[in-house]
Structure 1
């Protein structure tokens, strides 16, 4: 505390009007907080964390290790005791003013405030926390006798508990929050309480941290503004045709199928980073699907519905509108997985309407699903199945929370500290606004996708049942290009590579972009930010492929644009939405993208 800051008992110069107003706000907010918690619908226990079976396995393995190898376990404990005891002594000396605390712990962005290094109390809290975290992670790593899948899950959820208990997550041990409270005479805490109550009210009493200022954006006004028209609509989708910006376009049209877990405008946030606008500017006739945001009436919609009333319907409409026999396609994430299923089905039926396919961050082989695999065991999936059976859909809350926990310090604890302890307004960040604008998932489709594709990996095994056919990866034989992202925590790039490697196409291109699930795809050439890898050889392992790959500076967009142009035919006069004779139904971005269905 500096000399010009007030001590807790110093009331000199207190702004009594401000204090009274804050007390009134606290009383009002406390009432709203109580009401929000009272109205809480509650989340079934099976969706709150892994089942007890995992912890029982871990305890059994630990006790077995203690019995069979006690020296190893005692050594691990003694190392931790030694570190904590030595530091406790150092901290006592530091508090007595003998010397500054020694600190050899690794740098951690959570502890950026200088007080974590210089103040004996905060340094003691930080070091003891990091010693404990190291001990817990080491104990898990040393466990033997656990199935690899169980050990991976235990490691993940162990780290979640460790991250949750960081001293930065508590007001009494967060110097940034306490300094801000003193500086603002408590105003930051009042503002933080208001932010907390607002987020609870928005999610029926469940806590989901708001990441962006929702008042800063409006879809169709300052994001998702590329001109176009809705040219077809059914209960599953709106089909948007974008207005050309070139006098001529390639004859073969392009359809993008975005994921229906989120909304399509991730590819059209702003003009400077809009993949949609960039594609149009390259001379392609572009159609983009905007999926409906389902409510409980969509309970019986399954993967077959998305294929038949989504993919096949859109392909049929684009062929009619452009008077072409073939189309090019793009599938992003889950939409790429389903595009693969559609192509397999079309192969079985002898339908040759698709000229080429591009897959963005797409998994089709789930034998090793990466980080997200920790949520694919029966304990979670049984809970999801019970949830959708009861309610007809999986509320967007669950998917948003799950993906956030894959990067909990960045997407949960860090934003919570800023919002609730520092009282900051969430930033006006278009990407985070989109991230919070999720969609619900139909009940039947959710179970079919999670059980049949993710958990049982039936497509890669060659026996995924759909619409009377047994579908296999080897059926996907159209020319294809797959783009994966190196640090993707949702669709692991190695799993993506393994899936594409098993596809039956003789004309395959694989591009590995730097960065993650979103930034690696929304990577315009003008930014000159993330590079990419290419390798024409399809080696048995993704590690070998990357080791032999060539790195290229800058975005992969131009490389893909050249690949796509070679498969898109001659140039023809540009097509304008509505010139096919069918009147446009609504201007882009359409109506489905703005809908807020009943829960």
Structure 2
């Protein structure tokens, strides 16, 4: 007898508890709404994950030991390279052939004893073997063997099929670090310059070097500035341009400088430095002071001095830096110099924030700005240079845990990162000169400033790394400032954009990309030097040069290589060219200087103020 199954009544479905679903016409639903492509299980991270993450961070305080690079990042890069190399016979054969050719060259060098006949030339920036003593045997053989090995590893870590570019760069960078560690120039016995100095001084250079090493270790452990930096103090021999603090809030002090000319341009200048640095890089000793240079050119100059944040400031974000920083400063300048538009100048991260603010001002059709100048400031982070070695999802999570525990990114973490990027100069050459040759290079105002670091708030740095570096949200028009979408095409004022040829923090080709994101008039300048020396570039100090080309609406946009080929170099400092550009975008110098401060902005303290002295 057949059994007829009973038809079950379908259980009632629970009512949705989330926001009401918006009906879509057939074919109009976005693919991301699919459970397979989107998030069909609520918001991520979940509430329970957030609770467990808080517990994890509380327990992490019990073992505060940290590594500068996330172990997962390092292992993933090595594994990616090693596995793809193991699965590519063609690359293995190429490296085998290249090793045989290198071995033949090494044999010829050893058998003839004449390294110069088959010389491997170091890279142009490598000065370790520049002394003529390195061209005499036996140290010439050591140098050549090392350079041959370096060349082989350079080829071995590049061009392996299947390896991601990020991992390729990481493996190549790691190989370079290990090779630099074992370079013969680091050895007392292998370095002919050190041997000669040791014999001439009877080993006194090594005794001095040992004392310098101990002194450096003690200063690092106690978080003290390097030897000689104590000779440069803000308000004593740097940051001494006369002025007054006219505004102080939780995040900034705004300094207004006293005029030195009987008449000034109507348009004031606001300098917005990055908060990863003290502002006085723009007001070093008088001969290197950009502030003094501008005041003497007849401008009313203001500068933001950022607070050095502590753990209590952990929740300050980029919106706060805009509100309490750039916007508050512009509002104060408008009160002190009413009716005038401001020449706004941003340096590094300060320039990135200024570009956001300028786009917001343009979107809202405000008339606050006369022009915008950016010094070594990125707005497109798709190719940020070697700093990207330390920025990926794994490294972000690793750093996020560290910052969450402290509330800030410590200045020593930033210093160590930048030193690794230029380890050959800032680590190994420094140790050779100081610890082996027993020489202390004289401290300069720029070097002392560079050692006077700051911290970064947890929330701000987290937003900066996630939204700007990893998501590149600003260039994609996907960033919001104060809840307002930011599109750099909304910038309506002429721009002067400066980049430096040797900048390893904001590579010039990356800085150049603003011309594809903004269609206002732009003047692009490429100067000699690096991230700091390229900016602190006063007229007549040292031989220097720059390239300058203007772009106007309707002209074809050149790519970086075309721009470089078509823009001739000019001898001298770009400071004068920039001042001339400011003059052309300003009214004649006929106005009497404004008073210091305003009715609601009374002078609070003489420059350089108090925030710059925080450690």
TM-score interval, smaller chain: 0.7 to 0.9
- State yes or no: 1:342 paired with 2:361: no
Partner of 1:418: 433
| 2: CA distance, partners of 1:532 / 1:182 | 44
Q: Structure 1 residues 503 and 212, CA, compared in 2 at 3 Å: closer, same or farther?
A: farther
Q: Structure 1 residues 581 and 145, CA, compared in 2 at 3 Å: closer, same or farther?
A: closer
- State yes or no: 1:544 paired with 2:562: yes
| 2: CA distance, partners of 1:187 / 1:528 | 34
Partner of 1:466: 481
Partner of 1:34: none
SS in 1 for 2:270: strand
Work out whether residues 381 and 469 of structure 2, in 8 Å CA contact, stay in contact via their aligned partners in 1.
yes
- C-alpha offsets along residues 8-27 of structure 1, whole Å, 9 cap, x if unaligned? xxxxxxxxxxxxxxxxxxxx
Partner of 2:495: 480
Shift of 1:444: 0.8
Alignment of 1:16-35 (within 5 A): none
Compare 43-52 and 448-457 and name the one that shifted more: 43-52
Work out whether residues 482 and 500 of structure 1, in 8 Å CA contact, stay in contact via their aligned partners in 2.
no
| 2: CA distance, partners of 1:228 / 1:169 | 48
Partner of 2:571: 553
Match for residue 59 of structure 1 among 74, 79, 82: 82
Compare 427-436 and 456-465 and name the one that shifted more: 427-436
| 1: CA distance, partners of 2:398 / 2:423 | 22
Match for residue 203 of structure 1 among 216, 220, 223: 220
Q: Where in structure 2 are there 5+ consecutive unaligned residues?
A: 1-62
| 2: CA distance, partners of 1:203 / 1:212 | 11
SS in 1 for 2:69: helix
The structure with the larger Rg is 2
Alignment of 1:47-86 (within 5 A): 50-66=73-89, 68=90, 70-86=92-108
| 1: CA distance, partners of 2:72 / 2:312 | 28
Match for residue 208 of structure 2 among 191, 214, 237: 191
Q: Structure 1 residues 508 and 102, CA, compared in 2 at 3 Å: closer, same or farther?
A: closer
Higher helix fraction: Structure 1 or Structure 2? 1
- State yes or no: 1:392 paired with 2:407: yes
Shift of 1:119: 3.8
Alignment of 1:215-230 (within 5 A): 215-230=230-245
Partner of 1:298: 313
| 2: CA distance, partners of 1:157 / 1:486 | 24
Shift of 1:481: 1.4
Partner of 1:531: 545
SS in 2 for 1:203: helix
- C-alpha offsets along residues 528-570 of structure 1, whole Å, 9 cap, x if unaligned? 7222222234524121122222432222222222222233335
Match for residue 273 of structure 1 among 271, 288, 295: 288
Partner of 2:31: none
Partner of 2:267: 252
Shift of 1:360: 0.8
Compare 579-588 and 55-64 and name the one that shifted more: 579-588
- State yes or no: 1:104 paired with 2:115: no
Q: Structure 1 residues 471 and 508, CA, compared in 2 at 3 Å: closer, same or farther?
A: same
Compare 385-394 and 507-516 and name the one that shifted more: 507-516
SS in 1 for 2:513: helix
Q: Structure 1 residues 587 and 103, CA, compared in 2 at 3 Å: closer, same or farther?
A: farther
- State yes or no: 1:566 paired with 2:580: no
SS in 2 for 1:106: coil
Match for residue 464 of structure 2 among 426, 449, 452: 449
Match for residue 374 of structure 1 among 389, 392, 403: 389
Shift of 1:306: 0.5
- C-alpha offsets along residues 65-120 of structure 1, whole Å, 9 cap, x if unaligned? 23x455323212212332334444456xxxxxxx8986623255212444432242
Compare 570-579 and 336-345 and name the one that shifted more: 570-579
Work out whether residues 515 and 557 of structure 2, in 8 Å CA contact, stay in contact via their aligned partners in 1.
no
Shift of 1:491: 0.9
Q: Structure 1 residues 580 and 187, CA, compared in 2 at 3 Å: closer, same or farther?
A: farther
Q: Structure 1 residues 61 and 167, CA, compared in 2 at 3 Å: closer, same or farther?
A: same
Partner of 2:45: none
Shift of 1:489: 1.6
- State yes or no: 1:233 paired with 2:248: yes
Shift of 1:391: 0.7
| 2: CA distance, partners of 1:48 / 1:527 | 45
Work out whether residues 336 and 594 of structure 2, in 8 Å CA contact, stay in contact via their aligned partners in 1.
no
Shift of 1:270: 1.9
Work out whether residues 357 and 479 of structure 1, in 8 Å CA contact, stay in contact via their aligned partners in 2.
yes
| 1: CA distance, partners of 2:448 / 2:72 | 27
Task: Number of aligned residue pairs: give it.
Answer: 545
Shift of 1:259: 1.1
Work out whether residues 232 and 238 of structure 1, in 8 Å CA contact, stay in contact via their aligned partners in 2.
yes
Q: Structure 1 residues 299 and 69, CA, compared in 2 at 3 Å: closer, same or farther?
A: closer
| 2: CA distance, partners of 1:50 / 1:430 | 37
| 1: CA distance, partners of 2:115 / 2:591 | 75
Shift of 1:509: 1.8
Match for residue 584 of structure 1 among 579, 603, 607: 603
Compare 402-411 and 527-536 and name the one that shifted more: 527-536
TM-score, scaled to structure 2:
0.83
Shift of 1:211: 6.5
Compare 69-78 and 298-307 and name the one that shifted more: 69-78
Q: Structure 1 residues 49 and 188, CA, compared in 2 at 3 Å: closer, same or farther?
A: farther
Compare 158-167 and 312-321 and name the one that shifted more: 158-167
Shift of 1:301: 0.9
Alignment of 1:171-190 (within 5 A): 171-190=188-207
